[in-house]
């Protein structure tokens, strides 16, 4: 867990992570920033790892991005000690005694506790939020049909197509309440809330892009989806594990990621088959790849952000081959994806960090939220089934945003309202 308040430094990536040396420059600046780093009694002195940079990078790897160092950073790894890092000069110094830190924090950062099970029933938004799909169901199905045509012609094995839906509430969206509800709904996901200009990018991602701790590296791509039908491996989701179409989609992703990581690892463990990753209304095929990073000529190993640049975009959010998939995405989707399906996470001054893929996410501005969902199109896909899968993924997000309301995009323009 990492949380930050204020801004001590913003590092621009004018050409995203596409330009050579961009991630190395971020790492060098992080390592050079002085800070006051304090750890709870009994914790290792390196637990805070100094300065931490947070980022939500665009899906387009060549688009401008930023990594931000907060003025105040608080964190904890698992059940380990809590630590505090102060970077900003405008904050008063930390008290010398660790027992005084909690009170000091209480005046500067919202309480960071566990999700309250009752919070899913508190602050529920009013009924009938307005739902405005940016494209119709028929248009999305036509996009899938076109992708299938290109796959059959050869040269393209998989492409991930997304659609966007705007939801308008009758009052500004309360982000702490939304996140608290979401943590109850999807306890196995990774949560994030990052400012992106005038908007806040908030989500509960089930997909780990990459995690680095020292020389240990881990990634867990997801591909292949099924809706809840029975809720048990044998009764509802067992068919997902047996599906040839879903298995092929997943295999393409795992093979591409393993090939991208292999040159940077001395060991890389790739399981023979996927397992089930179950969420509240659907399940995915997931495979966890673990590796040991190999030292470079100077003895260093790639940082977490370096590995993001190696991997993004994976076939889980773009396709195979990547360039052909990206061309089709740019040609048929309603507009740029922005931060949807881009990397979101953090890297610290030692190079450790965790980055998720920004899916199951909402871009929030006041009372307005943009929801996005993508589907992997491969040989054997069906346009209607892929549209229904996109609806499932949109519903997974909508359930946190507007509990008790039904989600649908198949309504007339003058009746685009959720029904409670």
Task: Please give the pLDDT value at position 86.
Answer: 82
User: What pLDDT sits at residue 39?
Assistant: 66
pLDDT band at residue 46 under the 50/70/90 scheme? very low
CB contact set of 172 (below 8 Å; sequence gap of 6+): 366, 367
pLDDT in tens, 95-106: 666 556 666 565
Query: What integer pLDDT is reported at residue 11 of this predicted model?
Result: 95
Contact criterion met (CB below 8 Å) for 51 and 95: no
The answer, yes or no, to whether residue 336 has pLDDT greater than 60, is: yes
Q: What value, to the nearest 5°, has the Cα angle with vertex 335 and ends 248 and 419?
A: 80
User: What pLDDT, in 10s, does the model give residues 13-29?
Assistant: 999 999 999 999 999 99
The tens digit of pLDDT for each residue in 59-75 reads 999 999 999 998 888 88
Instruction: Name the pTM for this structure.
Output: 0.89
> What pLDDT does residue 76 have?
77
Half-sphere exposure of 83 (CA within 13 A, CB side): 25
What is the structure's pLDDT at 110?
Answer: 47
User: What is the average pLDDT across 133-138?
Assistant: 95
Distance between first and last Cα of the chain: 34
Residue count of the chain: 420
> At 389, is the pLDDT very low, low, confident or very high (cuts 50, 70, 90)?
very high
Q: How far apart, in whole angstroms, are the C-alpha atoms of residue 142 and residue 146?
A: 6
Distances (CA, A) of 106 to 101, 111, 113, 395: 9, 7, 12, 35
Structure tokens at 362: 């909402």
- Out of 28-37, 153-162, 409-418, least confident range: 409-418
Point out which residues pair with 356 in neighbouring strands.
208, 344
Per-residue confidence band for 84, with pLDDT thresholds at 50, 70 and 90: confident
Q: What's the CATH number for 126-420?
A: 3.60.120.10
Catalytic residue, from 82, 158, 186, 211: name it: 158
Residue 94's pLDDT is what?
A: 63
pLDDT of residue 197: 87
Give the pLDDT score at 419.
Answer: 44
Over range 145-171, report the average pLDDT. 96
pLDDT band per the 50, 70, 90 thresholds, residue 231:
very low
Q: With contact defined as beta carbons under 8 Å apart, do 34 and 89 qualify?
A: no
**Residue 207 known to be catalytic:** yes
pLDDT of 120: 45
Lookup: tokens for 84? 């505090």
Maximum Cα interatomic distance, the chain, rounded to a whole number of Å: 68
Say if residue 365 is exposed, middle or buried (CB neighbours under 10 Å; 0-12, 13-18, 19+): middle
Element (H, E) at 69: strand 65-69
81 or 107, which is more confident?
81
**Domain limits, the chain:** 1-114, 126-420
Strand partners, 54: 68, 346
Is position 141 annotated as part of the catalytic site?
Answer: no
Question: How far, in Å, are 31, 217, 263 from residue 351 at the CA level?
Answer: 9, 12, 19
Q: Convert the pLDDT of each residue in 318-329 to its tens digit.
A: 999 999 999 999
Average pLDDT for residues 26-40, to the nearest whole number? Answer: 82
The stretch 254-259 carries a mean pLDDT of 98
> CA 39, CA 48: separation in Å to the nearest integer?
7
As beta bridge partners, residue 131 has 167
Residue 279, CA atoms < 13 Å, CB-side half-sphere: 28
As a whole number, mean pLDDT of residues 117-125 equals 48
C-alpha torsion sign, points 137, 63, 312, 148: positive
| Mean of pLDDT values over 31-48 | 64
User: Among the options 82, 141, 186, 207, which is catalytic?
Assistant: 207
Average pLDDT on 230-254 reads: 80
């Amino acid at each position: 867990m990492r949380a930050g308040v204020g801004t001590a430094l913003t590092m621009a990536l004018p050409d995203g992570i596409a330009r050579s040396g961009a991630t190395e420059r971020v790492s060098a600046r992080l390592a050079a920033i002085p800070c006051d780093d304090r750890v709870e009694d009994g914790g290792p002195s390196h637990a805070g790892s100094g300065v931490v940079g947070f980022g939500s990078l665009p899906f387009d790897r060549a688009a401008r991005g930023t990594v931000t160092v907060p003025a105040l950073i608080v964190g904890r790894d698992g059940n380990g000690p809590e630590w505090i890092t102060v970077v900003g000069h405008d904050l008063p110094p930390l008290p010398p005694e660790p027992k005084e830190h909690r009170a000091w924090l209480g005046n500067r950062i919202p309480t960071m506790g566990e999700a309250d099970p009752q919070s899913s029933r508190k602050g529920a938004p009013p009924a009938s939020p307005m739902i405005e799909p940016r494209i119709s169901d028929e248009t999305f199905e036509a996009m899938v049909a076109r992708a299938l045509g290109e796959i059959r012609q050869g040269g393209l094995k998989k492409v991930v197509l997304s659609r966007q839906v705007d939801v308008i509430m009758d009052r500004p969206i309360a982000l702490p309440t939304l996140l608290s509800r979401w943590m109850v709904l999807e306890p196995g996901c990774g949560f994030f809330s990052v400012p992106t200009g005038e908007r806040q990018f908030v989500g509960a991602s089930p997909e780990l892009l990459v995690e680095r701790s020292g020389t240990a590296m881990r990634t867990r791509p997801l591909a292949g989806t099924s809706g809840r039908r029975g809720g048990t491996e044998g009764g509802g989701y067992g068919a997902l594990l047996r599906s040839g179409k879903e298995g092929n989609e997943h295999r393409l992703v795992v093979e591409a990621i393993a090939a991208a990581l292999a040159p940077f690892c001395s060991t890389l463990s790739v399981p023979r088959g996927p397992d089930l990753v179950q969420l509240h209304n659907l399940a995915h095929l997931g495979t966890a790849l673990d590796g040991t990073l190999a030292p470079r000529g100077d003895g260093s190993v790639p940082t977490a952000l370096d590995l993001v640049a190696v991997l993004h975009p994976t076939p889980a959010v773009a396709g195979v081959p990547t360039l052909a998939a990206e061309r089709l995405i740019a040609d048929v989707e309603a507009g740029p994806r922005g931060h949807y399906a881009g990397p979101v996470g953090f890297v610290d001054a030692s190079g450790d960090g965790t980055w998720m893929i920004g899916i199951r996410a909402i871009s929030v501005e006041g009372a307005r939220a943009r929801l996005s969902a993508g589907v992997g199109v491969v040989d054997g896909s069906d346009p209607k089934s892929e549209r229904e899968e996109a609806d499932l993924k949109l519903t997974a997000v909508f359930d946190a945003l507007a509990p008790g309301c039904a989600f649908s995009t198949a309504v007339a323009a003058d009746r685009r309202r959720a029904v409670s």
